[in-house]
Structures are given as C-alpha cells and as structure tokens.
Amino acid sequence: MKMGRRSKGIAFCVLCISLCLRIVQGYKESETMRTLKLEQGDSHEVHCSRERSQAAWKIIEEYLKPFVEKERYQISRRCRLHPDNDLYRDQEQHKIHVDLNEWQCGYCRKRFYTEKYLDRHFDNRHYDLLNTSHSRCLADVCGALHCDLVMDSMPRKTKCNPAAAARNHHLCESLADSCFPVNQGPSASHLHEFFLRQFCDAHACTGGQKPFSRGHRKTRSIFYLSISILTLVLLPLFYIFIYMHQRGIKGGTVELKRISKSVRKKKPS
C-alpha cells in the first residue's frame, strides 16, 4: 500500500512539473512573439530628428545659401550641408502649403490642418520612401549651426559648457573645410572665411561673438507686400482719374467756347 501511494505521489509530482514546464515554455513563446511584433512595428523607426533637420535646413536657407549664391559657388555632395545629404529633403519638397490652415501631401494628396500633422503622416504612411541606407541626417550638424536658437521661441539663458562649445567649434570648422576648401579658388576661400565668422566664432564661452553675425536673407514683410499690392492696384485708378479729370476740363472749355460763340452771334449788329 505504501509503495502504491509513493508511486502515485511521484506520478503526481511529475505531472505537476511537466505542467509547470509547459506553462513556462508557453509564456516564453508568447513573450518572444510579443517582442517580435514590437520589433516589426518599430522597424520603420528612423533615428534622425525631423524637427532638428528642419531647423538646420532653415538656417542653411536663411544664413548661408544667399551668400553661396552670391558667390555662384556649387557645394559638393561630399559636404554634409548639401541637399542630397538631408534624409527628409524629398518629403519636405512634397509638402504643399495650400492655405493658412491647410497642408497637402504631395504623394497621396491627403490634406491636413497643420504642418505637424503632415509630418506625422509622412512618418506613418510614407516612411518607406526614405533612403535610410546612408547615414544622412542633417540634424547631426545642428550643434555647429546653432539650431537651438531657431527652435526655441523664447531664448533660454543656460550656462555655457566649455566641452560642448569646443566640440561644436571643431564640428563647425570641419564643415567649413569640407564644404569650402580654401584650395578651390577665391569663391571657396571667401565662403570658408565667411562660414567661420558666421557660425564658428560664436562657439565659445566668452560671449563676445553672436551667431549669424554676417547677416541673413532679406525677407519682405507682410506689410511691405500689402503696400506694394495696394500701390499696384491704386496706381492705374489714379491715372484713370487724372485722365478723366483732364478730359472733363477740356470738354468744359470746348463747351464754354461754343456758348461764347453763340452769344456773340445773337448780339445785334
């Protein structure tokens, strides 16, 4: 009897152990599947900040490109500031600003209220159009280009970090050397010097030099555009008024002459 009870107890223990092993194995399999799904769901994640890339491109457009165009200089593709080295450049070119609160996707023509929602649409629906085979992230040069000044609506007073300033200064100088080699002629030499003064000199904790000290693209204000349009509309009307006024004066003069002649004819001789 004791042997029978022992055998039953052993069998029960073996059964419990096997059940526990199956439960653990099933849990591991489900955990593996969950991890795989998460990896598949995040497979299109791009480790390049779109916001900082936009800020960098805005700085290039406003504080560098006008001076490059003035020198009639062609930036090489080896330069990290070249448009081809911006991961999001093609998507940015497929943004259509229809109206004040209306943006349109150039790929599928879907419309959005703000540019921010259009950016999310690009991330969710058109991520497959990004060429991520090359390390082309314009946000990586934000430290050299002072992107934080453009991104912060309210400037923040922060304590200068000498190590970060030195790192950004080194990156800035490397951009100047690669984008505008001094041995490529007078234009490249001028732009190399300009780039150092415009961007690199401000990377210091002395506070003596401000970023973008050489100026930026001159943009026409809304007020100036409104005045120009109003002038173009009113100027023809003004000339029409002057013409009609002069014509009226001439017509009145002719009529007076006719009246005076008729009066003279009626006088007795």
Contact status, residue 24 vs residue 59, Cβ threshold 8 Å: no
Helix runs in 113-159, H state only: 115-125, 142-145, 147-151
Burial 24-38 (b: 16+ CB within 10 A, else e): eeeeeeeeeeeeeee
Cβ neighbors of 113 (< 8 A, separation 6 or more) are 101, 102, 103
Tell me the CA distances in angstroms from 168 to 192, 193, 251, one per residue in order.
17, 17, 77
d(CA 30, CA 142): 42
Token pair belonging to 218: 């001159």
pTM passes above 0.75: no
Backbone phi, psi, residue 56, to 5°? -65, -45
What confidence score (pLDDT) does residue 2 get? 45
Per-residue model confidence as pLDDT tens for the chain (269 residues): 445 555 555 666 656 666 555 544 444 334 333 333 333 444 467 889 999 999 999 999 999 999 999 999 999 999 999 999 999 999 999 999 999 999 999 999 999 999 999 999 999 999 999 988 777 899 999 999 999 998 976 666 778 899 999 999 999 999 999 999 999 999 999 999 999 999 999 999 987 788 998 887 665 444 455 566 666 766 677 667 676 666 666 555 655 556 565 655 555 55
Backbone phi, psi, residue 96, to 5°? -120, 115
Closest to 194 (Cα-Cα) out of 89, 58, 73, 84: 73
Cβ neighbors of 111 (< 8 A, separation 6 or more) are 98, 102, 103, 104, 105
Q: What are the boundaries of each domain within the chain?
A: 50-158
Tell me the CA distances in angstroms from 159 to 144, 198, 199, 238, one per residue in order.
18, 22, 19, 59
Token pair belonging to 172: 């800035």
What confidence score (pLDDT) does residue 168 get? 97
d(CA 130, CA 107): 13
> What secondary structure letter does DSSP report for 88?
T
